[in-house]
Amino acid sequence: MSYIGSKPANKPVVASDLDPTVITGQTALATSPASTDEFLISDAGVLKRLDASLIGGTNTPAFLVSGTTQTNVSDSTVTKAQFDTEDFDTNSNYDTSTYRFKPTTAGKYFLYARSRFFDDSDTNVIFSTELRIYKNGSNIARQQTRLSGTDGSQSTFFNVQNTESVSAIVEANGSSDYFEIFWEIKRGSSSVCDVINEKFGGYKIIE
């Protein structure tokens, strides 16, 4: 790098010290900058180097998990969804034994989940399905679908199925906050219903 004149010792480099004919941008960068690539910026008139890794941010922690089928579920009972298989978990923040996501980085997160409810008999009807996001044991978001009809034996509903999805932007403190998925089926009978816990995932929002 060339300076105009002689650079005094222990003097911060400012824009006026640089020869504008040297910094030309003559060679183009044809790919995305590497995390160790550096930029020159003016910080209150003082030129400083800045690593590309410090610009913007990343959408991590992030995770995606799949779940097992929960069978013979109880009517009108709030039940935790059992997502027990990790598709990925960037920061090991999801616990497959407690079915909890506990992010270790503070910030805002986008969370989403999907479950499929079904009654494969031909004699019963599911009246409503509800999927919920819980934070620290309390409901903070829900999605409910109400179904109507009469008994399946009257040929109104056969093999009743409904897929429910829920999403929310949540705040996490990065230490004690945790998130879970719960669901509830209301069918007004003792019929056998199953729930397939399809996906639960989320990621940190870049702020």
Q: What is the domain-level CATH number for residue 191? A: 2.60.120.40
Residues 42 and 86 in one domain: no
Q: What is the pTM of this model?
A: 0.74
Is 33 inside any structural domain? yes
Per-residue exposure over 145-159, b if at least 16 CB sit within 10 Å of its own CB, e if not: eeeeeeebeeeebee
Spatial contact of 197 and 83, defined as CB atoms under 8 Å apart: yes
Q: State how many domains the chain has.
A: 2
Is 7 inside any structural domain? no
pLDDT digits (tens, 9 = 90+) for 119-160: 756 555 667 889 999 999 999 999 998 875 554 443 344 456
pLDDT of 18: 62
What's the residue count for the chain? 207
Residues 106 and 191 in one domain: yes
pLDDT of 183: 94
**Residues spanned by the domain of 37:** 15-54
Low-confidence residues in the chain, pLDDT < 50: 1-4, 151-158
pLDDT of 82: 96
pLDDT of 187: 74
